[in-house]
A and B are shown apart, each in its own frame.
Chain A
């Protein structure tokens, strides 16, 4: 090679979608686009992270995120250790810090962490030397979900800038909504949150987006509609009178979908409650990207793992030079 390579990198950890500036976010999306082609090849594996260890540290139930990270790490030839709180020493009372130090001692290069408490991955990042990737913490953030959602939008619609994105539903309990708002605004999209007032978090007025209570008014002016699941497992009070009334006012059915512009897409981070926030016919329509989102999740997580673990940390290189 005649030209010295352009060195671009990510921050050491991926804890929040706000950790990424525009260039870094685009780097992840571009890298994911190249890695997506791997799915068409006979050998869906790259040797890049051989000898690196990725720990999936899941304190909360998850099927798609954990499998997605596992497939991503394995396609890059990393060793994957799955650690779920059930059946581990955590159920014997071990603290997060002691668990982290145990994993550190085992030589984890990256820890993919899902935790029910907001901020847990952030704490973890202070205790271990490897990279920490937030795979969802409480009601706080889920940055790789936001990356795969943006990746899906760019794939389908060709751009992110000036896209009108509507995020509908249980914003209060949604880490997906927060991460998406942050990432999409970094990339220049216009985000509108639509929810009943009881399902909007305090301080939503400081978020880089607008807020509406009327779904019908917003739909005709949107390119992307992202439906959120009503997170009953996090609800300890009455947030709306009945599921039926919620569904009537904030659910996406075929009639509402018909008011969308022709090329608009419908997204859902999963798992879905068919018949509550999204009607079955909408979930299975051609506008729906729900299955694509899962496939894109693997490519995006491969990109994140490659960019965090594939190279040397810049400070090490400078120190050596």
Chain B
């Protein structure tokens, strides 16, 4: 395992391997969000029935920023009297790996007052990896109501799916090795916007191994 060199885009990694390599900078990240916002509006012929639900913690922050951008594209009109409702959906209690590690603290779930029944719910998360978080989110959502449709927006799709789950909106596809780490940094949580690709984290890799 120690021989595994971090690989990305089939390019050899140069420089100090202990330093995470930036993949998206603040401007790239902003552009990706703007594009996703446009795609959501385009796909749903407006934003009238759209509800954005972020998965804590960074998904919530991304959902908020997508909401701001959608408001900029689709101004409030008579048909669409309010801006896009934004909420958060904690999936902890629905995870399938709860019993494989220590207990996790819960994050807030805030469902907008209009609920999700008959709405187009766009789940927002920072990184799409195995797909298990999204599976848990779909289960959590079905206990909250019956949306007309559920879509998935992620900032980074790093591959390695373990379930038949596919995102509808992707900020950037980043091919990764299983042991690499993807760090999404966001202004309101981390002080700056960036996506970093970190080298193999062996401790984490070992932990992942036990959960498989």
The answer to whether B101 has its CB under 8 Å from any CB of chain A is: yes
Contacting pair A2 B127 (CB below 8 A) = yes
Q: What are 7 residue pairs bridging A and B, where the CB atoms are less than 8 Å apart in the complex?
A: A2-B181, A34-B106, A37-B109, A42-B145, A46-B94, A310-B98, A311-B103
Contacting pair B98 A8 (CB below 8 A) = no
B139: which A residues are within 8 A, CB to CB? 47
Which of B93, B98, B103, B109 has the most chain A CB within a 10 Å cutoff?
A: B103
Interface residues on A, range: 20 to 34
Among listed A150-158, A218-226, A312-320, interface-contacting one: A312-320
- Secondary structure at the A interface, as helix, strand, loop or mixed, is loop
CB closest residue in chain B, given A320: B210
Contacting pair B90 A34 (CB below 8 A) = yes
Within 8 A of A (CB), among B100-125: 100-109
Contacting pair B143 A312 (CB below 8 A) = no
CB closest residue in chain A, given B102: A7
Given contacts A37-B109, A42-B145, A47-B139, contact A1 B103 (CB under 8 A): no
A118: which B residues are within 8 A, CB to CB? none
**Docked CA distance A313–B103 (Å):** 8
Contacting pair A7 B184 (CB below 8 A) = no
CB closest residue in chain A, given B145: A42
> A317 CB to closest chain B CB, in angstroms?
5
CB closest residue in chain B, given A310: B103
A30: which B residues are within 8 A, CB to CB? 105-106
The answer to whether A88 has its CB under 8 Å from any CB of chain B is: no
Within 8 A of B (CB), among A26-42: 27, 30-31, 34-35, 37, 41-42
Contacting pair A1 B94 (CB below 8 A) = no
The contact of A317 among B58, B184, B204, B210, by CB within 8 Å, is: B210
B184: which A residues are within 8 A, CB to CB? 2
Contacting pair A312 B133 (CB below 8 A) = no
The answer to whether B43 has its CB under 8 Å from any CB of chain A is: no
Given contacts A41-B143, A45-B143, A47-B94, contact A6 B104 (CB under 8 A): yes
Given contacts A2-B182, A35-B106, contact A321 B210 (CB under 8 A): yes
B76: which A residues are within 8 A, CB to CB? none
Interface residues in B, total, Cβ within 8 A: 32
Within 8 A of B (CB), among A285-321: 306-307, 310-314, 317, 320-321
Given contacts A42-B145, A311-B98, contact A47 B93 (CB under 8 A): yes
The answer to whether A93 has its CB under 8 Å from any CB of chain B is: no
**With contacts A311-B98, A311-B104 known, what are 16 further pairs, Cβ within 8 A?**
A1-B129, A2-B184, A4-B207, A5-B104, A6-B104, A10-B103, A30-B106, A41-B143, A42-B144, A43-B143, A43-B144, A45-B143, A317-B102, A317-B210, A321-B206, A321-B207
The answer to whether A9 has its CB under 8 Å from any CB of chain B is: yes
The 10 A-B pairs of least Cβ separation, nearest first, read A311-B103, A7-B102, A34-B106, A46-B93, A48-B93, A43-B143, A320-B210, A310-B103, A311-B102, A2-B127
Residues of A within 8 A of B (CB): 1-10, 27, 30-31, 34-35, 37, 41-43, 45-48, 76, 306-307, 310-314, 317, 320-321
**Docked CA distance A30–B206 (Å):** 30
> B23 CB to closest chain A CB, in angstroms?
12
A317: which B residues are within 8 A, CB to CB? 100-102, 210
The contact of B108 among A3, A34, A48, by CB within 8 Å, is: A34
A41: which B residues are within 8 A, CB to CB? 143-144
B11: which A residues are within 8 A, CB to CB? none
Contacting pair A34 B109 (CB below 8 A) = yes
**Docked CA distance A321–B139 (Å):** 29
Within 8 A of A (CB), among B70-115: 90, 93-94, 98-109
Contacting pair A8 B133 (CB below 8 A) = no
**Docked CA distance A107–B103 (Å):** 21
**Docked CA distance A310–B95 (Å):** 10
The answer to whether B157 has its CB under 8 Å from any CB of chain A is: no
The answer to whether B183 has its CB under 8 Å from any CB of chain A is: yes
B183: which A residues are within 8 A, CB to CB? 2-3
The contact of B102 among A8, A31, A42, A45, by CB within 8 Å, is: A8
**Docked CA distance A314–B104 (Å):** 12
Contacting pair B105 A6 (CB below 8 A) = yes
Contacting pair A4 B206 (CB below 8 A) = no
B182: which A residues are within 8 A, CB to CB? 2
B107: which A residues are within 8 A, CB to CB? 34
**Docked CA distance A192–B41 (Å):** 60
Contacting pair A5 B145 (CB below 8 A) = no
> B119 CB to closest chain A CB, in angstroms?
15
A34: which B residues are within 8 A, CB to CB? 90, 106-109
Contacting pair B94 A311 (CB below 8 A) = no
Contacting pair B105 A311 (CB below 8 A) = no
Given contacts A2-B182, A4-B207, A30-B106, contact A311 B101 (CB under 8 A): yes
**Docked CA distance A3–B125 (Å):** 13
A314: which B residues are within 8 A, CB to CB? 102
